[in-house]
């Protein structure tokens, strides 16, 4: 009793039933073949996408390293105020020196 149907009793009915079942099996095999080819194509596509992602990550890694170097250099320049301190020490020393010179005149 396949699929809730009764098996035919006559030879011709039995042959027709067999032919219809064989046709269904052939259709299933064709569908499976199509699915396999779609699956293989999808796997190739996924592999290409993964390669592209790996390349992008490698490129971004280099860019990230360059950006980190730039951040470091900007931070060094921003915090390097030693020259400014020296300039004000020179100005302050000169001012105090001129005041002392004026007092002793």
Nearest to 10 by CA among 21, 18, 20, 1: 18
The pTM (predicted TM-score) of the whole model is 0.40
Containing structural domain, residue 8: 2-77
Would residue 90 count as lying in a domain? no
| Number of structural domains the chain divides into | 1
| pLDDT, tens only, 37-54 | 889 999 999 999 999 988
16 and 24 Cβ atoms separated by less than 8 Å: no
Would residue 56 count as lying in a domain? yes
| pLDDT, tens only, 7-31 | 556 777 778 888 888 889 989 888 8
Would residue 45 count as lying in a domain? yes
Would residue 88 count as lying in a domain? no
Would residue 60 count as lying in a domain? yes
């Amino acid at each position: 009793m396949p699929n809730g149907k009764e098996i035919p009793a006559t030879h011709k009915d039995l042959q027709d039933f067999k032919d219809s079942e064989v046709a269904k099996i052939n259709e299933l095999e064709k569908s499976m073949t199509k699915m396999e080819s779609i699956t293989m194509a999808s796997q190739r596509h996924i592999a290409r996408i993964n390669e592209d992602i790996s390349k992008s990550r490698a490129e971004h890694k280099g860019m990230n390293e360059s950006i980190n170097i730039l951040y470091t250099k900007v931070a060094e320049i921003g915090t390097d105020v030693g020259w400014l301190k020296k300039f004000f020490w020179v100005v302050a020393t000169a001012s105090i020196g001129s005041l002392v010179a004026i007092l002793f005149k």
